[in-house]
Amino acid sequence: MRKKTFVASASRWLVGTLAVAAALLVAPLAGATGEHGFAKPPTPNPIIFVHGGSGSGAQFGSQAMRFTSNGYPASHIAVLEYDSSSIGTILPQVLARLDDLIAEVLAQTGAEQVDLMGHSLGTTVSHTFLSTPERAAKVAHYVNIDGRTAAAPPGGVPTLALWAGAVNRPVPPLIVGATNVTIPNQEHVQVATSEESFFEMYHFLRGRAPFTTRILPQLLPELSGRVTAFPQNTGLDGAKLEVWLVNGRTGNRVGPRPWKTFDIGPDGDFGPFRVVFGLNFEFAVLREGQVDLNYFYEPFIRGDHLVRLNVADGLAPFIPASDNDVALTVLRYKEFWGDRGVENDVLSINGTDVINPTTAPSGAVGTASVAFFLFDVGSDGVNNLTSIPFPFNVLGFLTAADLFIPAQPPGTATVETVPRGDFDAKRKVNVRNIPATQARLVVQLRDFEQ
C-alpha cells in the first residue's frame, strides 16, 4: 500500500493553495470591475446553519472551512444552536433567536439576505421559520439537508434538497419544485459534512462550481469555539479551558505552561487564538469537583471557528471509572461503519479494532453512530465487543463497547483509524492514558480525508 507522508500531503495542500490564489488573481470573473481593472466576484450572502437533533455547529465545521477556502469571509458563516431535546416546547424561542441572528449577521455584513441551511431536525426549524412570509423574505436560498419533505419549496425560497443515499436506505421522498440531489453511499450525518455535498451547496448558492472542494491549509490557523453542556448547547459557565501543545508521538504536553487559557462564561465562548499547522493540541476542560475532560485533536489544517467541546454530564453515571483504566470517546462527524465489508471503518485502540457489525451498524437514521464510547464495564479488565452497553444501545448516533484500556501514566494510548477501508488515509492520534478517575478523554477525528 502507498503511504502518504506528512511532507507529501503538506506539499499537495500548499500547491492547491497557490493554484487557487493564482486563479483568483488571473481568472476573469463575472461581476463589477475593481480599481485595477480586474473583475470582482459578487459578494456572497452570509450562510446560517441550523443543526439537527443531538447536534451543534460543529457539524458545519468542515463545510465552513471549504467555504472560506473558496473566498467566503469567516464573518459570513454563522450557526444557530439550541437544545434539540426540548424543541417541542422551545420552538417559538428558537425561531425568535433565528430572527435575532439574521438581523445581527445582516447588520455586520451589510448583506440584504442570508442563505439558510438546515440539517435533520434543523429542517423542521427552517421550514417553520420560512412559513412566515416576512421571515422568508430575508432568505435568498435554502438548503434542506436530509430532513423534511414538502409539496413546494418552503416559503417559496429557491431550495436545494440534499438526501443521503446509503445503499441500505430507501430512495428518499422529495421537496417538490426544489433541486433534489441524492449523494450516493452516504449516511445522515455524512451528507451534511461531505465534500460531495459541499460541491452541490456551493454550485446552488453561487451558480458555478467551486474553485476547490478541498480544505486549503493555513500556516497559522485561527481557532475559536464554545465549551457547552450537551445536548442543551448552553455555555459551561465557570469552567476553565487550557489549550496545550502536545507531542504527537506520545500525547505528552510540551512545555510547563498552556498555549492558551480561557475562563468560560455563560455563553461558553473561547478564542480566537492561533495554532500552528501540523502540530497537535489538547483542550482540557477543568471544573472544580469534576473529573477533567481532555480533548485531543488531529492537527488543524485551516482556521476553524466552530470548535465545540461538548460536555455530556448526563452520560457520566454510565461510564465506570477506576484508577486502572481509561475512559475514551472517539468522535467523527461521519458515521462509523462495521457491517459494510470492504467499506468498513477500522477504529483500533492499542491494536484492538472495536468496530464490528454489532458495535457499528449502518442503517436507519440514528442507528449508525458518530460517537464511540469506550470503557471497562465492571472494571474487570476484560473486553466484550459483542454488545453495546446501556444506555448507548438505545441512544441515537451514539455507540459504545466494553474495552479495557490500561491506565499507566505516563504511558500512551493509540487511536488508529482507517476510514471506510481506505488504507491510504490511515492515521492515528496518541493520547496520555490518564486514569478514568482523573479525566475522560475525547479524540476528535476529522470527517474528511485529503
Summarize the confidence of residues 98-106 as an average pLDDT. Answer: 98
CA atoms of 216 and 201, how far apart (whole Å): 18
Interval 351-365: pLDDT, tens: 999 999 999 998 777
Summarize the confidence of residues 98-117 as an average pLDDT. Answer: 98
State what percent of residues in the chain have pLDDT above 90: 86
Whole-number pLDDT of residue 168: 67
Summarize the confidence of residues 407-430 as an average pLDDT. Answer: 93
Summarize the confidence of residues 324-350 as an average pLDDT. Answer: 96
For the chain, which domains are there?
43-206 (3.40.50.1820), 222-444 (2.60.40.2200)
pLDDT reading at 23 higher than 60:
no
With cut-offs at 50, 70 and 90, classify the pLDDT of residue 339: very high
Interval 109-134: pLDDT, tens: 999 999 999 999 999 999 999 999 99
Summarize the confidence of residues 47-51 as an average pLDDT. Answer: 98
pLDDT reading at 7 higher than 90:
no
CA atoms of 130 and 113, how far apart (whole Å): 13
Q: Give me the phi and psi of 325, to 5 degrees please.
A: -135, 165
Instruction: Provide the grid cell at 48.
Output: 446560517
With cut-offs at 50, 70 and 90, classify the pLDDT of residue 182: very high
Weakest-pLDDT range from 77-86, 215-224, 257-266, 400-409: 400-409
Q: What is the DSSP letter of 30?
A: S
Summarize the confidence of residues 77-87 as an average pLDDT. Answer: 97
Summarize the confidence of residues 154-174 as an average pLDDT. Answer: 87
State what percent of residues in the chain have pLDDT above 70: 89
With cut-offs at 50, 70 and 90, classify the pLDDT of residue 366: confident
pLDDT reading at 171 higher than 60:
yes
pLDDT reading at 170 higher than 90:
no
Summarize the confidence of residues 363-388 as an average pLDDT. Answer: 92
Whether the CB-CB separation of 158 and 93 falls below 8 Å is answered with no
CA atoms of 124 and 198, how far apart (whole Å): 21
**Three-class DSSP category at 424:** helix
With CA atoms as reference, report the closest residue to 158 among 192, 124, 197, 116. 116
Whole-number pLDDT of residue 9: 40
Whether the CB-CB separation of 216 and 69 falls below 8 Å is answered with yes
pLDDT reading at 284 higher than 60:
yes
Averaged confidence pLDDT in the chain: 91
Q: Give me the phi and psi of 65, to 5 degrees please.
A: -65, -35
pLDDT reading at 312 higher than 90:
yes
Whole-number pLDDT of residue 6: 32
